[in-house]
Amino acid sequence: MAFKKDHPSNKSIQTILIGIITSVLLAVVKGVTGILGNSYALIADAIESISDIFTSLGVYLGLKIAAKPADKNHPYGHGKAEPMAAVVVTVFLFGAAVLIAFQSIKEIFTLHNSPAPFTLWVLAIVIIFKEVLFRYIIKVGEVTDSLALKTDAWHHRSDAITSAAVFIGILIALIGGKGYENADDFAALFASGMIFLNACLLLKPSISELMDESPANGMDLFVRNTALSVEGVMALDKCFVRKIGFDYYVDLHVIVNGKISVTEGHKISHLVKGTVVNSNPRIANVLVHIEPFLKNKRKYAKMFK
């Protein structure tokens, strides 16, 4: 079944397209300005923007795949493509950081003239654009709970940080005059370190989702409380929640009166499933296992620790 128009995947994909278009424009502006303004740091910044384009394309492809419904070969859907896309983004970030660092060190030991003053105005505009883009994409990523989108947003933030570092470097070079010509190269080197650090911080949540780590947003507690509100449910044993793409999948062990019939227990399980699924549009499926209530209170105390 196809996703509705208001499904989070659709909003995420639209947001990625906006980011791609913006990155293309800024990469061209920074590259041309860097060449005309004699600033390798600005050229390096343009390279980082080009990496934004490719990583955003990777995220776009990942989100498109993740939005595909479940099929015979993928009964849990294609949601894993979303955190995989986030991993691709971080790999590109690592690559961009290493490339910029290598070229910056090379330029530090190369004699060249100071950058042109007009490069500062271009950088100021770029920083504003990238920061606004970051805030927009991170907001959509939080609303849709898209790891790939939030990772891509931080990629744009790293671009803003790079541009800010380059701005400071060029400003020092212009104010300092002779002997400070390579200040923007040191700025580019510093920016590469910031990009590398961001990549390290972004990689962990991507790996965690791929490893089916329990969500840290309180979804398991929400599911427990919802299931316990169903008539006939005496207690809960296990409650496992995992995020696959934009959706959550739940495994529940529900404890009921051991004296009721199998048919009645089956009805309760369906009621629990329906109640939990309908409680949150992001919960795609709930697998319910029925267990009989036991009088051993210690066991239940242990269950809820």
Residue 295 has pLDDT above 70, yes or no: no
Residues present in the chain in total: 305
* Least confidently predicted of 170-174, 229-233, 264-268: 170-174
Average pLDDT over residues 141-160: 78
Find the CATH number of the domain harbouring 275: 3.30.70.1350
**Structure-model confidence comparison of residues 7 and 280, the more confident one:** 280
Domain span including residue 233: 219-303
Residues 245 and 139 in one domain: no
- Establish if 1 belongs to a structural domain: no
Total domains, the chain: 2
Residue at a domain's end among 210, 228, 261? 210
Write down the pLDDT at residue 8. 60
pLDDT, average across residues 127-136? 87
Please check whether residue 3 lies inside any domain of the structure.
Answer: no
Together in a domain, 160 and 75:
yes
Structure token digits, residue 246 = 């934009």
Provide the H-helix boundaries in the chain. Answer: 8-36, 40-66, 81-108, 118-144, 147-176, 183-210, 219-228, 262-279, 297-303
pLDDT value, residue 301: 40
Within this chain, do residues 196 and 78 fall inside the same structural domain, yes or no? yes
pLDDT tens per residue, range 187-240:
778 878 877 887 787 788 778 878 877 777 788 889 999 999 999 999 888 889
Residue 49 in this model has a pLDDT that exceeds 90: no
Residues whose CB falls within 8 Å of the CB of residue 28, separated by 6 or more in sequence, listed in order = 46
Domain end residue (candidates: 161, 189, 210): 210
**pTM exceeds cut of 0.75:** no
* Residue that finishes a domain, picked among 210, 232, 256: 210
Does position 241 have pLDDT exceeding 80, yes or no? Answer: yes
Q: How would residue 5 be classed by pLDDT, with cut points 50, 70 and 90?
A: very low
Other Cβ atoms closer than 10 A to 72: 5
26 lies in the same domain as 134: yes
Residue 235 CA to residue 300 CA, distance in Å, equals 8
Please give the pLDDT value at position 3: 42
Question: What pLDDT shows up at residue 105?
Answer: 83
